Amino acid sequence: MRPANMSIHTLLENLTASYGLATVLVLGTLISVSLLKTDSLQQLTFQLFIYTLIDAVYQNCFSPLSDIPGPFLCRISRLPNCYRLITGLQPFWLRSLHLQYGPLVRTGPHQVACARPEVWKDVMTYKVNLPGKEHIPHFGRDEAMYIIPPNGVHHIHSVHDDAEHHRIKRTIAHAFSEKALREMEPIVTKYVDQLITRLDEAVDGEEKGKVDLVAWLNYVTFDIIGDLTFGASFGCLQDSTLHPWIATVFDSLRAACFLGALGHFPWVKAVFMTLLPPSLKRIQSEHQNSSSKKVDERMASGSERPDFMTLLAAAGKDGNGLSREELHSNATLLVLAGSETTATALDGLLFHLCHNPAVYKKLTTEIRAAFENYEDTTFETTHSLPYMNACIEEGLRIHTPAPTDITRMAPPEGKMLMGHWMPGGTKVSNCMLAIFTDPDSFMDPLEFHPERWLGGQERERFEGDRLEAAQPFSVGPRGCVGKK
């Protein structure tokens, strides 16, 4: 009996340490049912109770994170956080926790959320560990939160190795330089003109101007990015509907939240992926194959017009560029990152402009004073409009396209954060919504005030704002390559 007791002892200890109270309770219940009417039931139930009690006491009283405040259930289980992630309520939940408990909140047995600007420098910014260079410990990626593309080849968002990420990002950055953007401007302008034409038709049509701007902004951004990536638009503006390829992308976003939550429980995720219906796997594979085919057709065309594929191919001539398989993986990410997020940012900006007539009037006055004709508006000329750019900054702050958290993991050596020791393996997250609307960083954080981004007398009321807190594109080596 002793070897059996030792194996149960080890199993419970490891499970409790890795997954927390709630998981052990569920697993223990299932095991208890399966062992019902056996001699092991009494021993298992007793040991489960003891280890559950020990884990709860340890996490609340003796864990290195025990001095960080947070809800009791979050201290002993990851389930509250995972539930909010799946339901889409995580950003609002995390913001409410920070308002209640402060800048540092315990959101899991081994996870802490931070809502101070310091998180950008202390957690997100670090020196890349390249081969031959001194290794400097830093907060790294939480692998559980990332999904490898269906073709098994990493893209810029999923790759773990710093050197590989540096290589991929350096290559992709060529497609987002100021020079590249100016060269691609005619393609962008073509679809913006088409959007204006279609909206004019809607104003004169049966609906008398009643249009769903959210839909139209998605149409134009997907058409633009589709053309820049694949050499042809999705035809959304023309057909007034989303292409089936795009609909699959939106479905994948919902699935990614669910899989991200499962990533906190690796063994559950492994079982789930094994039981995934073949039809869903086939849809995922077909979508990846469709993207790969579009990339191959664009590359085979031999066109040298300025777009993403031309620039990425030119950047790879030194032998350190992207392989064809890496182009396949990154193409889908480029389309998603450059379209839906842009549409969401524009949706939020237009919403707040419509609900703030004084701001809207001031913005239109600035634009109409600067340009006599619509054709005069270009990337370069609009860049010099201070109030318009302030409106964009404020829109990205109060209605950020990615309001949820970015998670990093403390190195094995551990790291300090805001005077608290983060043991190796501790997950540190920063919820953008919570940071961007933190009352300690911004005056009237839930109100739309572009003036906070200006200088001189207009900013006097917001002089104490910590503008560095708002980083909608993140910072550091893993920051968004397309922020320009």
Reduced to 3 states, what is the DSSP secondary structure of residue 407?
Answer: strand
C-alpha dist (Å) from residue 394 to 37, 192, 352, 384: 64, 23, 10, 17
Distance CA 112, CA 66 (A): 11
> Looking at residue 1, what is its pLDDT?
36
> Tens digits of per-residue pLDDT, 279-310?
777 777 777 888 899 999 999 998 888 999 99
- Indicate if the pLDDT at residue 216 is higher than 80: yes
The average pLDDT across 119-128 equals 88
Task: Taking the CA atoms of 123, 125, 126 and 128 in sequence, report the sign of the dihedral they define.
Answer: positive
Identify the structural domains of the chain with CATH numbers, from first to last. 1-62 (no CATH), 143-469 (1.10.630.10)
Quick one: average pLDDT of 471-475? 93
Token duo for residue 345 = 């940012």
Look at residues 146, 162, 184, 148 and name the one whose alpha carbon lies nearest to residue 310. 184
Using pLDDT thresholds of 50, 70 and 90, give the confidence band for residue 472.
Answer: very high
Q: Residue 7 above 60 pLDDT?
A: no
Quote the mean pLDDT of the chain: 86
Say what the pTM is: 0.86
DSSP assignments along 159-172, one per residue:
---HHHHHHHHHHH
pLDDT at 24: 52
Give dist(CA 188, CA 418) in Å, integer: 44
Residue, of 484 and 26, whose pLDDT is higher: 484
The maximal CA–CA distance of the chain, rounded, in angstroms, is 89
Residue 160: its pLDDT value, please?
86
Q: At residue 29, does pLDDT exceed 70?
A: no
Mean pLDDT on 113-134: 85
Strands 427-431, 111-114: pairing kind: parallel
Residue 461: the pLDDT is 92
pLDDT at 98 over 60: yes
68-78 pLDDT per residue, tens? 999 999 998 88
Q: What is the mean pLDDT of residues 366-376?
A: 93
Tokens, residue 181: 């953007």
- Output 444 or 288, whichever has higher pLDDT: 444
Question: Which of 376, 375, 349, 374 is CA-nearest to residue 363?
Answer: 349
